[in-house]
Amino acid sequence: MLKGWKVIAKKELKQLLRDPKITIGMIIIPLIMYPLMGSLFRASIETSMRQEIKIALVDEDRGEFSTYLKQYLNTLPNVKLAEYDCSLSEAIKRAWAEEVEALIYIPPGASESLE
């Protein structure tokens, strides 16, 4: 039963390659489309990597964890860190007004709960 699969596969492949429409669709179009799509994605990623990201930080913990997190965020390229010394609800309003991409909130006692 498995011996006949080679004959059937060979017959189907010959039949597919005889029709030029199928050959174009199966071989030529992917050879053009995949490199084109790859270059478009690469250009998009490179553009997004160059843009500066604004991150706001509300630190109500002021502990070891938040210190390490701030140091790490400050070392990242293309990241602008804004520290808000206010309540969370006020920080959300400020973040909307300043068009911040992300708001990180560290609640009181976060460092203790991570130990």
- Number of structural domains, the chain? 2
Looking at residue 112, its pLDDT comes to 86
DSSP string, 7-30: HHHHHHHHHHHH-HHHHIIIIIHH
- Each residue's pLDDT tens digit in the chain (115 positions)? 567 888 888 888 888 878 878 777 778 888 899 999 999 999 888 887 788 889 999 999 988 999 999 999 999 988 999 999 888 899 999 989 988 999 999 999 888 888 7
Closest CA to 83 of 110, 108, 54: 54
Residues 43 and 67 occupy one common structural domain = no
Looking at residue 1, its pLDDT comes to 57
Looking at residue 2, its pLDDT comes to 66
CATH number of the domain enclosing 83: 3.40.1710.10
Residues 59 and 100 occupy one common structural domain = yes
Residues 19 and 45 occupy one common structural domain = yes
Looking at residue 39, its pLDDT comes to 92
Residues 56 and 106 occupy one common structural domain = yes
Residues 28 and 58 occupy one common structural domain = no
Residues 108 and 77 occupy one common structural domain = yes
Residues 58 and 108 occupy one common structural domain = yes
105: three-class secondary structure by DSSP: strand
83: three-class secondary structure by DSSP: strand
Residues 60 and 40 occupy one common structural domain = no
Residues 15 and 44 occupy one common structural domain = yes
- Residue at which a domain ends, from 13, 28, 49: 49
What is the span of the domain harbouring residue 29?
Answer: 2-49
